[in-house]
Chains A and B, each alone.
Chain A
């Protein structure tokens, strides 16, 4: 029998306090009436009102959401294709190079990805703006999509797909009617991951976007550089709330968000 010791419980409490206290403090101070972030002077919604009147912030929020939506959808298609190749295409010349290219964006610092994408766009003489922002985000989040979808694909029974093809279903139809429904939860999870990656990103966006397509993290960043104001707490709180809502919806839709659980790993 395993004893539930006092030490593990304390460790858990301390660890999760470390992870969550800063975020809790941030949320609480967004309702602070005073101008100072660190001195409490009563509850108020004034910073949310200030935010509502801030046209620039609202415009950037719209750009960020649109870019997230389009780039996540692109990344889902590309990442799923890559996952299918890794899980189903068997051996082919250059397979390990292919796998390396799929996973490279996962391990490269964002600054490297941003700088190299920008130089590519300059080299191709593409005007920087919304389109390059979407391409840049889709390029790196497709890697995350590939990992999530791949982990599900290798767990799915291939004999069902083979049966469909033996009965004469063409490959595309087999994917749409047999494979896609089986891996749908992981595709939803992957799309959401790509969406939040795009919403969060500051570094890549700073490199690849242009005038007229300034994202919310870029605005927040330039404000933080000027100094800490409760307005940033307010916008961060809205951000955290939006992400929490997305996660909650996702976990209601499927349980595939947690690595390991989708593989029937109940350990």
Chain B
């Protein structure tokens, strides 16, 4: 592709991205420096236009950021989100790695069908999946009744509205995101390596940890990020499955925006969240996300 057509294509695509991806973030950054007022819109302008030919005065308010760092509630919400998302990522990987490994061990003609089965839940609504999981975990839900019937527990376990409820919801929601990259990296490993190890007397478990796992590490890291990043900002799971005392930043942001209507503070919290999430991606970007771009 050369010449005018190339320029037009680049400009069109860039205009779209500038309008719907770049501009929104710039607006958020701008409003995070405003002050909250009662009115429409509920925040002050960054530039105050004077009378006549006077240059506009810049009104920057760093107070929202000061508030975020000084407020224990926000600090707790950020730390709580990072903690729960990290636990959920670890659990999701602990399920995804053995499951994906088992998928690569299945007969070759089954694998496409298994892959479709693994992706299908990803196509159904996340809200519906969370709702289904609420039904399973509830006090009179199937899980508690089976455990009681087996005599393992006497009274129903309180899982919903606790941190365990949130972690199970996050794991269930994002498991397909973990499964796919892990599977993709495991399936590329030459089975001859494992066979060679077995021929030399290496036990299967040891060869999994010494050979398979190190080779699949980039895929596992990518899977971890794909679960961790959206999980940190998740709103539906903590709102519907968490307790009233659990703080996650997605839920706090939602309340700040819709209930308290403090848009500048919510914007500042969003800017911090983006910085928090983008920094690990930028560090790992070259290695994980833009691989294969060199071909272009």
Contacts and interface: CB of A to CB of B under 8 A. Distances in A.
Interface string B222-260: 000110011011111000100000000010011001000
Interface in A82-105: 82, 84-90, 92, 96, 98-105
Given A22-B135, A116-B25, A89 B31 contact: no
Contacts of A184: none
B232 A109 contact: yes
A203 B270 CA distance: 15
Contact of B1 (A22, A26, A171): A171
A2 B132 contact: no
Nearest to A14: B99
B267 A15 contact: no
Q: What 4 A-B pairs are tightest by C-beta distance, nearest first?
A: A109-B233, A139-B20, A171-B5, A116-B24
Contact of A89 (B1, B30, B112, B129): B1
Contacts of A258: 112, 115-116, 119
B178 to A, nearest CB: 11
Contacts of A11: 98-99, 101-102
A157 interface: no
Contacts of A220: 127-128, 131
Contacts of B56: none
Given A25-B136, A236-B128, A258-B116, A111 B21 contact: no
Interface in B77-125: 95, 98-99, 101-103, 105-107, 112, 114-121, 123-125
Interface of B: 1, 5-6, 9-10, 12-14, 16-18, 20-25, 27-28, 30-31, 41, 95, 98-99, 101-103, 105-107, 112, 114-121, 123-129, 131-136, 138, 140-142, 145, 172, 175-176, 180, 184, 187-188, 191, 195, 225-226, 229-230, 232-236, 240, 250, 253-254, 257, 263, 266-267, 270, 273-274, 277-278, 281, 285, 289-290, 292-293, 295-296
14 contacts: A16-B117, A23-B132, A81-B16, A98-B13, A101-B18, A103-B289, A112-B270, A120-B23, A138-B20, A220-B131, A239-B124, A247-B123, A257-B116, A260-B184
Binding site secondary structure of chain B: helix
A2 B105 contact: yes
B168 to A, nearest CB: 10
B274 A239 contact: no
A109 B13 contact: no
Contact of A18 (B41, B95, B187): B95
B172 A22 contact: yes
A44 B160 CA distance: 28
Contact of A86 (B98, B103, B267, B296): B296
A104 B21 contact: yes
B20 A22 contact: no
Given A228-B135, A236-B128, A243-B124, A9 B102 contact: yes
Contacts of B292: 154
A183 B278 CA distance: 32
Interface in A145-203: 154, 170-172, 196, 199-200, 202-203
B125 A239 contact: yes
Given A38-B138, A87-B296, A171-B5, A102 B233 contact: no
Nearest to B253: A111
Interface in A104-142: 104-105, 107-113, 115-117, 119-120, 122-123, 135, 138-139, 142
Given A116-B28, A139-B21, A19 B121 contact: yes
Given A9-B102, A85-B14, 8 more contacts: A8-B105, A11-B99, A23-B128, A89-B9, A107-B225, A111-B270, A116-B24, A119-B24
A224 B133 CA distance: 12
A182 B254 CA distance: 44
Contact of B28 (A92, A115, A196): A115
B296 A154 contact: yes
A189 B177 CA distance: 18
A212 interface: no
A84 B10 CA distance: 9
A252 interface: no
A232 to B, nearest CB: 6
Contacts of A26: 128, 131-132, 135
Given A120-B27, A232-B131, A259-B180, A20 B121 contact: yes
A203 B235 contact: yes
A101 B17 contact: yes
Contact of B124 (A2, A23, A120, A232): A23
Given A26-B131, A26-B135, A225-B240, A81 B21 contact: no
